[in-house]
């Protein structure tokens, strides 16, 4: 995809009605600080359009980035911020579940996992929500530049085993520093769009 135009078109909070975009949406989920904003900025070739987390977990909105006026990258709120109150946690949960449940145009959900660590309990919950709503999650293993090449296979295996993913589940290593993995992600999105 050649990025000609990007616009943050909808920002939805807990009380907003989710928009009927009428165009393909692909969504990104992951815990706070996993590198979601960095990934979305890298996909859009923007430095800082998607917020990077100065205050992790603070902004609980779903942000719709309109790409070339033809599709949307949907940034779901980051979860798992330990200091958030139970009330706040319940709210982000509902927001994400409502989106997964209601969006008519959602074609794929990417789940971001930090390549250095085993997925957390919240990651497993998120993975199951995605599955239960009828989507096969695509995993993006973030911060690839932070591990040695020799650790790559071991870390991917750890992610696959902890989430108990199915055999054909795709795991794409990605680095926002080097942009490694960017083309692969866009190729996949292009495929998803033309399905």
- Is residue 127 within 8 Å of 163, Cβ to Cβ? yes
- Is residue 146 within 8 Å of 131, Cβ to Cβ? no
Minimum CB distance to ligand GDP, residue 69 (Å): 25
Is residue 78 exposed (0-12), middle (13-18) or buried (19+ Cβ within 10 Å)? Answer: buried
Question: Is position 179 an interface residue for ligand GDP (rule: CB under 6 A)?
Answer: no
Minimum CB distance to ligand GDP, residue 77 (Å): 10
Question: Is position 145 an interface residue for ligand GDP (rule: CB under 6 A)?
Answer: yes
- Is residue 120 within 8 Å of 79, Cβ to Cβ? no
Question: Is position 177 an interface residue for ligand GDP (rule: CB under 6 A)?
Answer: yes
Cβ proximity to ligand GDP, 132 vs 146, nearer residue: 146
Backbone angles phi, psi at 91, to 5 degrees: -65, -45
Question: Is position 73 an interface residue for ligand GDP (rule: CB under 6 A)?
Answer: no
Cβ proximity to ligand GDP, 64 vs 143, nearer residue: 143
Backbone angles phi, psi at 87, to 5 degrees: -65, -45
Q: Which residues bind ligand GDP (CB under 6 A)?
A: 30, 32-38, 52-53, 56, 78, 142-143, 145-146, 175-177
């Amino acid at each position: 995809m050649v990025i000609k135009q990007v616009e943050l078109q909808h920002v939805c909070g807990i009380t907003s009605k989710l928009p009927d975009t009428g165009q393909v949406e692909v969504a990104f989920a992951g815990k706070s600080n996993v590198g979601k904003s960095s990934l979305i900025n890298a996909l859009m070739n923007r430095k800082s359009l998607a917020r990077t987390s100065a205050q992790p977990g603070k902004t609980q909105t779903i942000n719709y980035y309109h790409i070339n006026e033809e599709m949307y990258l949907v940034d779901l709120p980051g979860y798992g911020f330990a200091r958030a109150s139970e009330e706040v946690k319940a709210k982000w949960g509902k927001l994400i579940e409502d989106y997964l449940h209601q969006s008519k145009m959602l074609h794929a959900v990417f789940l971001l996992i930090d390549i250095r660590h085993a997925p957390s309990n919240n990651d497993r919950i998120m993975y199951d929500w995605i599955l239960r709503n009828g989507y096969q999650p695509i995993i993006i293993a973030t911060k690839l530049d932070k591990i040695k090449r020799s650790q790559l296979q071991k870390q991917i295996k750890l992610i696959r085993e902890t989430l108990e993913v199915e055999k054909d589940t795709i795991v794409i290593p990605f680095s926002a520093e080097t942009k490694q993995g960017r083309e692969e992600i866009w190729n996949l999105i292009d495929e998803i769009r033309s399905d």
